[in-house]
Structure 1
Amino acid sequence: MNCKKILSENGSFIDKDTSLKVFENLPIDEDIYDLADFYKLFADSTRLKILIALEEEELCVSDLATILDMGQSAISHQLRVLKQGRLVKNRRDGKVIYYQLDDDHIKEIISSGLDHIRE
């Protein structure tokens, strides 16, 4: 292997070309912080249950409260967080607000995560 290795400040050898290539391909810090915040939305089991339920069907708060055996205020709070994070969207039908996943990417993220933990 032909590598141009140099001694780093901490005394270990690094491949300068490879390190530079990796560094240049890293996302900007703002995108990294936004991605971390995005994944934090999945770090709550109630929010995950809501998202998984919404994979199946568009539902209102009372439907979700019944399905998940939780209070409507707790469901509403989590839906507000998910909506702010652009994971769910809603539509109004008279007095009832129905929620659904914002797009198919959310379903794919959950599915990939489940596949990973089930391996």
Structure 2
Amino acid sequence: MYARDNESGAGQPQQQPTSAQVETAVEAFRMLSDGTRLRLMWLLSAREYDVNSLAAAIEVARPSVSQHLAKLRMAGLVRTRRDGRRVLYRARDAHVRALIHEALFHADHEVSGIPRQD
């Protein structure tokens, strides 16, 4: 398993990720490289939404949002829960929420000129 224990650079060399781990990460980044999907994931990182609420929030047609959500679900980035006849979507877990947060935090630094942290 890929561990984050050696982030400081001290001690033993960091273990390389497996091919399966790299492919899974590449697929996650591929899914997040679309602006609509990234906006959806930002919302889903905060709370659950149904398709209609998401479509209204990002001003994209419901069928398009549904297609994006299906891709995100297949990539393992979102989970669903039934609430009566509605299906509610949310970012899958804390790892996915952190990934979205860090990507947009990085973008904020790039766009606003906020000094970078080393």
- Give the TM-score of the pair, scaled to structure 1: 0.73
> Cα distance 1:110–1:66, how it changes in 2: closer, same or farther (>3 A)?
same
Matched, 1:57 2:42: no
Structure 2, unmatched stretches of 5+, are: 1-11, 110-118
Is this contact kept in 1: 2:28–2:77, CA < 8 A? Answer: no
**Greater RCO structure (CA 8 Å; 6+ sep):** 2
The secondary structure found in structure 1 opposite 2:82 is strand
Structure 1 residue 50: Cα displacement: 0.5
* Equivalent position amino acid for 1:111 in 2: H
> Cα distance 1:105–1:30, how it changes in 2: closer, same or farther (>3 A)?
closer
Cα root mean square deviation, aligned: 1.8
Which residue number in structure 1 is paired with residue 70 of structure 2? 80
Which protein has the bigger strand share?
A: 1
CA distance in 2, matches of 1:75, 1:109: 21
Give per-residue Cα distances to partners, 1:13-37, cap 9 Å, x unaligned: xxxxxxxx97x93223332222211
> Cα distance 1:57–1:27, how it changes in 2: closer, same or farther (>3 A)?
closer
CA distance in 1, matches of 2:87, 2:77: 16
Q: Give the number of aligned pairs.
A: 98
Percent identical across equivalent pairs? Answer: 26
Give per-residue Cα distances to partners, 1:42-65, cap 9 Å, x unaligned: 101111111111122211001111
Matching residue within 67, 71, 85 for 2:61: 71
Structure 1, unmatched stretches of 5+, are: 1-20
Which residue number in structure 2 is paired with residue 109 of structure 1? 99
- Greater shift after overlay, 31-40 or 55-64? 31-40
Which residue number in structure 2 is paired with residue 98 of structure 1? 88
Which residue number in structure 1 is paired with residue 31 of structure 2? 41
CA distance in 1, matches of 2:63, 2:29: 23
